[in-house]
Structure 1
C-alpha cells in the first residue's frame, strides 16, 4: 500500500500542479485501532504556485479523490489549513501528530506544530470531542450488542478530553499514545486494550456484547466534561501575524519547486 499511496500523491501533484508538503494517515489506522478491513485515510497539505495566490478570486482549496474500498484521499491547500488552525480545528491538529507519515519535511512540520500550539484552544477542541463522543454514545445506549468501531468513537474523544484537562496541550492522534500518559482506572484501561486487540482481528461491522463497566465510565466522563468545558477560561482573540509570516515564508520557499 505504501507504493500505491506514494504513486497517488505524485499523481495528485502532477494533475493539480501543486506540491504536497505533508501527508499522513488519519482514520482508524492513525488512531491506533484499525480492523482487518479498514481502509487507508490519507490526508495532506499542499501549496500552489505563487501566482495562484495572487488571483482576484480564490480558487478551490480542497483536493478530493473519489473514494474506493481501499483508499480515501483528500487534502487542503496551505492557506485553508492555516485558516482552520487559527480556529483551532481539531482534525487539522490531529494530523500534526499522526504516527504514520507518507510525506514530510521535518523542519517545516516541526515549525507547523509550533505554530499550531500557539493557536490551540482548549475550549474549542474540548467541545469538538464532547460532541463527537455524545453523538456516538447516544447511538450505543440501550443496545445489547454494540459496534466496536462506534465504541471507539466514544473512547478516543473522551481520552482526548482527559488529555486536555491533564496537560492543556493538543491531544495526540494515536489512542495508545494518550493511554500511556493519561491517568485512568486500570480495569477500564485493560478493557480498552482488549478491545483494540479484538478489533484488529475483526471487520469494521462486527459487534460485541456491550461492555457495561466501560459504558458507565464513558457516561460519567461525558457528563463531567460537559461541566468542565463550561468552566474553561475564554481565550483572547489571537493575533494572526504568526500565521501570515509562516504562510509567506512557506509559499516563497516551496511554490518555486512547482513546474
Structure 2
C-alpha cells in the first residue's frame, strides 16, 4: 500500500500544481488500533506556487480524492492549516505526531511542530476530546453488544484528556504512546491492551460484550473532565505573528519552481 499511496501523492502534486510538504496516516492505523479491514486515512499539507497566494480572490484550500474501500486521501493548503493551528485544531496537531509518515520535508515538519507548541490550547483541546468521547459513549450505554471501533472512539479521547491534564502539552496521536505515560490503573490498562489485540484480529463492524469495569472508568473520566475543563484558566489571545513569519518563510523556501 505504501507504493500506492506514494503514487497517489505524486499524482495529486502533478494534477493540482502543488508541492506536498507533509503527509501522514491519520486514522486507526496511526492511532494504534486498526482492524483487519481498516482503510488508509492519508492527510497532507501542501503549498501552491507563490502567485496563487497573490490572487484577489482566494482559491479552494482543500484537495480531496474520492474515497474508496481502501483509501481516504485529502489535504489542506498551508494557509488553511495555519489558520486552523491558530485555533489549536486538535486533528492538525495530531498529524504532527503520527507514527506513520508517508512523505515529509524534514525541516518544514520540525519547524511546524515547533510553531504548533505556541498555539496549543489546553481548553479547546479538552473540549474537543470530551465532545468526541461523549458522542460515542452516549451511543454505547445500555447496549449489550458494542462495536469495538466506537469504544475506541471513547478510549483514545479520554487518554488524550489525561495526557493534557498531566503534561499540558499536545497529546500523541498514538494510543500506545499515551498509555506509556498517563497514570492508569493496571486493570484498565490490561483491558485496553487486550481490546487492541482483539480489534487487530477483527473487522470494523465486529462487536463485543460491554467491558463493565472499563465502561465505569470511561464514564467517571467523562464526568471529571467536564468539570476539569470549566476550571482551566482562560487563555490570553494568541499573537499571529509567529504564524505569519512561518507562512512567509515556507512560501519563500518551497513555493518556487513548482511545475515551472
**Into which bin does the TM-score normalised by the smaller protein fall?**
over 0.9
Check if 1:158 corresponds to 2:164: no
SS at match of 1:181: coil
SS at match of 2:25: strand
Contact conserved, 1:155 with 1:218, CA < 8 A, in 2? yes
> Any idea what the Cα deviations from partners look like across 1:226-255, whole Å, max 9, x if unmatched?
000000111000110000000000011101
> Any idea what the Cα deviations from partners look like across 1:57-103, whole Å, max 9, x if unmatched?
00000000000000000000000000000000000000000000001
Check if 1:207 corresponds to 2:207: yes
Tell me the TM-score normalized by structure 2: 0.99
Superposition deviation, residue 164 in structure 1: 0.1
Moved over 3 A (4+): none
Superposition deviation, residue 105 in structure 1: 1.5
CA distance in 1, matches of 2:91, 2:202: 26
CA distance in 2, matches of 1:51, 1:117: 29
SS at match of 1:198: helix
Check if 1:109 corresponds to 2:115: no
Report the count of equivalent residues.
Answer: 259
Q: Note the residue ranges of structure 1 that are not aligned, 5 or more in a row.
A: none
Q: In the alignment, which residue of structure 1 is the partner of 2:95?
A: 95
Contact conserved, 1:136 with 1:154, CA < 8 A, in 2? yes
Q: In the alignment, which residue of structure 1 is the partner of 2:228?
A: 228
CA distance in 2, matches of 1:53, 1:108: 19
CA distance in 2, matches of 1:145, 1:223: 23
CA distance in 2, matches of 1:29, 1:53: 34
Q: In the alignment, which residue of structure 1 is the partner of 2:243?
A: 243
SS at match of 1:183: coil
Contact conserved, 1:19 with 1:257, CA < 8 A, in 2? no
SS at match of 1:250: helix
Contact conserved, 1:38 with 1:204, CA < 8 A, in 2? yes
Q: In the alignment, which residue of structure 1 is the partner of 2:58?
A: 58
CA distance in 2, matches of 1:26, 1:116: 17
Contact conserved, 1:137 with 1:151, CA < 8 A, in 2? yes
Tell me the TM-score normalized by structure 1: 1.00
Superposition deviation, residue 108 in structure 1: 1.4
SS at match of 2:180: helix
Superposition deviation, residue 179 in structure 1: 0.1
Superposition deviation, residue 257 in structure 1: 3.2
CA RMSD across the alignment: 0.4
> Any idea what the Cα deviations from partners look like across 1:162-182, whole Å, max 9, x if unmatched?
000000000000000000000
Check if 1:13 corresponds to 2:13: yes
Alignment of 1:147-186 (within 5 A): 147-186=147-186
SS at match of 2:33: coil
Q: Note the residue ranges of structure 2 that are not aligned, 5 or more in a row.
A: none
SS at match of 1:146: strand
